[in-house]
Chains A and B, each alone.
Chain A
Amino acid sequence: MSRIERRFAALRAEGRAAFVPFIMAADPDLATCEAILAGLPAAGADLIELGVMFSDPMADGPAIQAAGLRARSGGASVRHTLAMVRRFRAADSDTPIVLMGYYNPLYIYGCAAFVKDAAAAGVDGLIVVDLPPEEDAELAPFARAAGIDFVRLATPTTDDARLPVVLGGASGFVYYVAIAGITGTRSASSYAVIQAVTRIKRHTNLPVAVGFGIRTAAQAEAVAAVADAAVVGSALVQKLAETLDSAGHATARTVPEVLAFVRDLATGVQRARRGKAA
């Protein structure tokens, strides 16, 4: 059983959904990001999505674009990101880490080498935004063979005819992108989210995580009531940005305020107890 499966099984037993914060590796610098990462489990993160920066993030809105630019000047690279995971994993062997990013940096690192190094560092899953099922044969099978879950994205445009394509070979969980749009812009209605999660669950037994557009504890609670996980990215990254000085550097407020916001969001998710889950 993978670390992701264990975590979702444990949460199912507790009768609640997972809270999944997203932070960009090396935003705003390596040391600050690492301090935030280390503090996330205690602040209520059940799984962690760690962004791998790319110069051209075509599915991301302004908040995550800005985080990527900060990370780039903060020294982000695939190598540094994996080193950060390795150090995190030395202290925490339970909290799954999923790397999220775009294909080119992984491709240039080399798919085989990347999968090997990521598995050794303690990475549990991959979300590669611009690698649809039609193109992922050069990465996904190697990831699975190395014990890394390959998480696929489903969106409002993924109809019932296409869902089996997306879900074929998916593992870990399914990430439902709640809006047809980029990160950090609009929010979906609760009704739309319920409809979508129900639809996806007709096609898979994998847990369904919902992201895009969740900005507050109340929204996280509403999503957690119907999905298996709520992902918050842009709002968290924006909170981090608000604590930086005018030159974009971390301040004494950065780590505590980001973690406080994580606690707040996690509390929202934990409120949404669902009794015995389906």
Chain B
Amino acid sequence: MTTQPAIPNSFRSGPDERGHFGMFGGRFVAETLMPLILSVEQAWEAARIDPAFREELDYWLKDYVGRPSPLYLAGRLTAHHGGAKIYFKRDELNHTGAHKINNTMGQILLARRMGKTRIIAETGAGQHGVATATVCALFGLPCIVYMGATDVERQAPNVFRMKLLGAEVRPVTSGTATLKDAMNEALRDWVAHVDDTFYIIGTAAGPHPYPQMVREFQCVIGNEVREQIMAAEGRLPDTLVACIGGGSNAIGLFHPFLDDPAVMMIGVEAAGHGIATGRHAAAMTGGRPGVLHGNRTYLLQDEDGQIQDAHSISAGLDYPGVGPEHAWLHDSGRVSYVPITDDEALASFQQCTRLEGIIPALEPAHALAHVAKIAPDLPKDHILVMNMCGRGDKDVFTVAKALGVAL
């Protein structure tokens, strides 16, 4: 007998019926929420195999979100690095400017199917909050977004956007007043409003079935890439690169390729000021397995199991955990996870803007920074796809401040 996890026949078959990806995932929630989580699971299981649900989602993704998003050959960036052929999956062109709406659209359709009349969400940078407020406006449902008081202050434009969309933004002052506390507060709200409320979680984390459900809504990214790259190159890509906060954009890109052994995948975590400084958000590089927010996964925590604050210049990556499927893919070795610092991301943010005329969000700027590290040494026929999961308009103030520019 060995204690090493066996290599599975497929990397795409998880989670098991209780939501476990190997030792990760699961449903670690208070009893008050358990029956509710089970009913979400039941509704989700019915919806995912219902062609009418799929058809409705496809309609909104096409005519409202603007899918499919293009797969773009970044010619000048490719020439600059002088190696691998670099493609961007342009999910920053979606309505609301990021991949988040792929998921909020799916979840609100499920909420409607379940007859829920009130929507709650957590948000860090505000992108998921905006994407949730948007679909709530679209379907006329009341929306409450929990947001750390610290984030409310530093993401004022997104707070105003959510309010314009009719959402109520509730600043969270408990704990450390950041994304993890916003998630705690959303869970507390849910516990107190179990009858009428649906919780739209923003990333592929939380109690089962959320990691699986969010993944399936985000897999539209990878599924499109598969078709688009076959049309453009006649073969599958060699390398996929995506940034990881909770990891929803990355799992959406990676999952359709997990059983194609020739496709290498790299998830890029936020290393903040550097792993050694302790001021980072790289749960897999710098954390260890634990239980938070309904699932077991890699977490930043101290030796007593108290959760530590994450740090990243990118508010969207500023979370002390990661989705449980990534934790499993990390341990099984199928996907590599690497850290990129604030400074490296900032440099790539500027480089991409100037070379390609595309202002990336700070989140995919981390992925771009890793591309900059590996592309020059790869052969010219190596096909690399990076997920441009968000646009950077929201980040220009943060970047100006980091560069010492007064606006």
Contact = CB atoms under 8 A, between A and B. Distances in A.
Interface of A: 53-62, 65, 69, 72, 77-79, 102-109, 129-132, 134-135, 152-159, 162, 166, 177, 180-182, 185
B291 A107 contact: yes
Classify the secondary structure of B's interface with A. Answer: mixed
Nearest to B309: A55
Given A132-B29, A135-B26, A135-B27, A108 B188 contact: no
Nearest first, the 5 A-B pairs at minimum CB distance are: A108-B305, A105-B305, A181-B192, A55-B306, A155-B32
Contacts of B290: 104, 107-108
A59 B27 contact: no
B146 to A, nearest CB: 12
B187 to A, nearest CB: 5
Interface in B1-43: 18, 26-36
A157 B292 contact: no
A65 B174 contact: yes
Contacts of A185: 192
A104 B34 contact: no
B305 to A, nearest CB: 3
B402 to A, nearest CB: 28
Given A134-B34, A162-B34, 17 more contacts: A55-B306, A56-B292, A58-B30, A58-B187, A58-B188, A65-B175, A78-B304, A104-B307, A105-B306, A108-B290, A129-B30, A130-B29, A130-B291, A134-B18, A134-B27, A153-B30, A185-B192
A63 to B, nearest CB: 11
Nearest to B187: A58
B382 to A, nearest CB: 42
A176 B291 CA distance: 24
Interface string B272-296: 0000000000000000001111100
24 contacts: A53-B306, A56-B307, A58-B188, A65-B174, A65-B175, A72-B306, A103-B28, A104-B292, A104-B305, A104-B307, A107-B291, A107-B305, A131-B28, A134-B18, A155-B32, A157-B33, A157-B36, A162-B35, A166-B31, A177-B32, A180-B191, A181-B191, A182-B191, A185-B192
Nearest to B173: A62
B301 A59 contact: no
Interface in B168-197: 174-175, 180-181, 184, 187-188, 191-192, 194
Given A58-B188, A158-B35, A182-B192, A130 B306 contact: no
A135 B27 CA distance: 7
Contacts of B293: 56, 58
Contacts of A129: 30
A176 to B, nearest CB: 10
Contacts of B187: 58
B194 A55 contact: no
A181 B180 CA distance: 19
B194 A157 contact: yes
Interface in B285-344: 290-294, 299, 301, 303-307
Interface of B: 18, 26-36, 174-175, 180-181, 184, 187-188, 191-192, 194, 290-294, 299, 301, 303-307
Contacts of A69: 175
Contacts of B31: 132, 152-155, 157-158, 166, 177
A108 B303 contact: yes
Nearest to B189: A182
Contacts of A78: 304-305
A156 B195 CA distance: 11
A239 to B, nearest CB: 20
Given A55-B307, A107-B305, A108-B304, A130 B174 contact: no
Nearest to A186: B192
Contacts of B28: 103, 130-132, 135
A108 B299 CA distance: 11
Contacts of A157: 31-36, 194
B301 A104 contact: yes
A130 B187 CA distance: 12
A56 B27 contact: no
B304 A105 contact: yes
Contact of A77 (B27, B34, B181, B304): B304
A59 B31 CA distance: 10
Contacts of B180: 56
Contacts of A58: 29-30, 184, 187-188, 191, 293
A154 B290 CA distance: 25
Given A72-B306, A107-B291, A56 B30 contact: no
A56 B175 contact: yes
A62 B291 contact: no
Given A56-B180, A130-B29, A159-B35, A104 B192 contact: no
A236 B134 CA distance: 43
Contacts of B188: 58-61, 182
Nearest to B34: A132
B46 to A, nearest CB: 18
Contacts of A130: 28-30, 291, 294
A243 B305 CA distance: 29
Q: Which of B30, B174, B187, B194 has the largest count of A CB atoms less than 10 A from its CB?
A: B30
A57 B27 CA distance: 16
Nearest to A107: B291
Contacts of A108: 290, 301, 303-305
A58 B174 CA distance: 11
A153 B30 CA distance: 8
A229 to B, nearest CB: 18
A62 B32 CA distance: 18
B133 to A, nearest CB: 23
Contacts of A103: 28, 291
A135 B304 CA distance: 21
Contacts of B34: 132, 134, 157-158, 162
B173 to A, nearest CB: 9
A94 to B, nearest CB: 30
